[in-house]
Amino acid sequence: MKNQVVAERYAQALFQLAKEQRQEAKFGGILDDILAMMKEHPDFEKLLHHPVVKKEDKKQMMTQLFAGKIPDQLLHFLCLLVDKHREDHLDVIAAEYTNLLNASNKTVITDVVTAVPMFKKTEAILKQQLEDYLGQQVVMNCHTDPDLLGGVTIKIGDRMIDGSLKTQLNNLAQALV
């Protein structure tokens, strides 16, 4: 919980800085790229998070890697995270930054799970219905789960719309008991 509060504060500060520069999307993309690089090169992540490595060495490493490749404000932000011993929060900060960016763009990310893959036309219809219902642009992450048997489940933030056949059968079984 404490990590989430810290991440929200840093993400809000970075988002405000990016907004002043009119580079909200660019900063978000760069944060995603940095996280992808950390996953691709776990040794870099280990060095960045290792408590024995000095702050100055971590900042020098980041400067050598990113100077001239990312905006100076973002590089200073990353160095600030190192100074404040918050570099291990970067993934949570980036996720919160993405939430702020989506809210600013009036975009909602949804997870849609069906028993079988949806046809493109069905996907487009569902997306349009969700956009009409929510009044915001919708980005759908579609997945399949054969255990649903049929129907669909839609996760929107902390809300869940469960129209799966599995749940309906479970509810019917509960009603008959």
CATH number for position 161? 3.40.30
What tokens does 139 get?
A: 């980005």
Query: What's the CA gap between 16 and 128, in Å, rounded?
Result: 31
Which domain, by its residues, includes 51? Answer: 2-103
Q: Per-residue pLDDT tens for 96-154?
A: 999 899 889 888 899 999 999 999 999 999 999 999 998 889 999 999 999 888 889 99
Specify whether 8 is located in the same domain as 72.
yes
Specify whether 66 is located in the same domain as 126.
no
Specify whether 45 is located in the same domain as 93.
yes
Show which of 58, 81, 103 is a domain's final residue: 103
Specify whether 139 is located in the same domain as 79.
no
Task: Tell me: pLDDT of 20 over 80.
Answer: yes
Looking up tokens 């290792």 gives 50
Helix ranges (DSSP H) in the chain: 2-21, 24-40, 42-49, 55-66, 72-83, 90-104, 120-134, 165-176
Whole-model pTM: value is: 0.73
Specify whether 161 is located in the same domain as 113.
yes
